[in-house]
Amino acid sequence: MSAPIEWRAAAGGELETDSHGILDLGVRSGDWSAQLFTDTLDLRWEHALSRGKVSVGLRGAGFAAGMFISPYTAGAPDRDRAQLVQYVGPDVLAQRWLGHGWYAGGEGFARAHHFTPMGDATLEVPDTVWLRGDAVIGGWFADGARAVRASMGVDVSTVDGRISPHAAGEARARLDGALAPFGELRAAWAEDADDLLATRLGGMTPYHVPLAGLAWAEVWAQDLVAARLGAQWTHGGLEVPVFVDGAAWTLPDDRSSPDPDSAATLGFGGGLGYRSGTWSARATVGAAPWWDRPEGTWPVSVFFLLGTDWRRAQGSHSSTTSEG
């Protein structure tokens, strides 16, 4: 018997002061998968155990690792700091199911980074190997309607021997009903981080900590607390969420940006989505009316995505012989 072949795909982008596109493609069969996340290739073996799972992967980024391609200073893109960044390295994960929806485990990675100033940028960033290890505990309840996760570990940057302990946590909950409230809370703390190790905050995408109205990964935070409160109306496959975001953060002491050490702001957002089977389309608009932007620009971001979750490839089957 052979495992069926499945695939997924999505395309979209975020429109803002400095817009970016998204292209995700994936294929998997049994324990093996290959996925392309815009510029990042992820090759992975993930095996389910009777009471947990293990995963070993190899990832490589082509040019936009850490979103160094679009750093911000004083609310505007800072071309003088922009970098093309590649990395390659392995990662590992091991989890054990504890019962009643809870799990615990460990995860980590090693990534060799190469930095090249982008365009006329004058900032020079030395190449480094980033090592990370974390202990993780979490819970998954009501088919994902409620979830919590907490991690604690250490980052090591070999370029200067930097050792940065860190901790992070998140929780989310969504009630049932045609008009259902939801909430999300995220927090992160670190010591002696820098631009590479900092947590990315801002934008409407699910790839970093979201904050409506700000640009994608606009803030590179050492410590942060971010919350989202809202409600979603659902009718058939139609989904209409509205929400408010709030966040407060501090920046790393060792950073290239001259922005103030700490800041906080609010953002407001709403969207429209539609689901049919594995296919979905959605668009979300956000604004941060009290966030400073240079004259002539506005703190507004628009995120859109069209794609399908995992689905079986046409003609794929679980037997090594044809079905006739």
| pLDDT for residue 160 | 87
The per-residue pLDDT for range 261-275, each reduced to its tens digit, is 999 999 999 999 999
- Residue 284 confidence (pLDDT) above 80: yes
CATH of 5-312, one of 3.40.50.1820, 2.40.160.50, 1.10.3720.10, 2.40.110.10: 2.40.160.50
pLDDT of residue 141: 96
- Output the pLDDT for position 296: 82
* Torsions phi, psi for 303 (to 5 deg): -115, 135
Contacts of 14 (CB under 8 A, 6+ apart): 20, 22, 203, 204, 205, 215, 216, 301, 302, 303
Q: How many residues are present in the chain? A: 324
* pLDDT at 295 (0 to 100): 85
Residue 34 contacts residue 42 (beta carbons within 8 Å): yes
What confidence tier does 317 reach under pLDDT thresholds 50, 70, 90?
low
Question: In terms of C-beta density within 10 A (0-12 exposed, 13-18 middle, 19 or more buried), how is residue 38 classed?
Answer: middle
Q: Is the per-residue pLDDT at 322 higher than 80?
A: no
Q: What is the pLDDT of residues 72-113, one digit of tens each?
A: 999 999 999 999 999 999 999 999 999 999 999 999 999 999
Q: What gap in Å lies between CA 9 and CA 275, rounded to an integer? A: 15
pTM of the predicted structure, to 2 decimals: 0.93
Instruction: Return all residues near 24 (Cβ < 8 A) that are at least 6 apart.
Output: 8, 9, 10, 11, 35, 36, 37, 38, 307
Q: What percent of the chain has pLDDT over 70?
A: 97
Cα 195 from Cα 88, distance rounded (Å): 18
Instruction: Quickly state the pLDDT bin for 297 (edges 50, 70, 90).
Output: confident
How many other C-beta atoms are found inside a 10 Å radius of the C-beta of residue 147? 17
Asked whether the predicted pLDDT for residue 324 surpasses 60, the reply is no
Predicted confidence (pLDDT) per residue in 194-216, tens digit: 999 999 999 999 899 999 999 99
Q: What are the extents of the domains in the chain?
A: 5-312
Q: What are the tens digits of pLDDT across the range 173-182?
A: 999 999 999 9
For all residues of the chain together, what is the average pLDDT? 95
Tell me the pLDDT tens digit for each residue of 114-172: 999 999 999 999 999 999 999 999 999 999 899 999 999 999 999 889 999 999 999 99
**Is the Cα torsion angle 164, 127, 261, 288 positive or negative in sign?**
negative
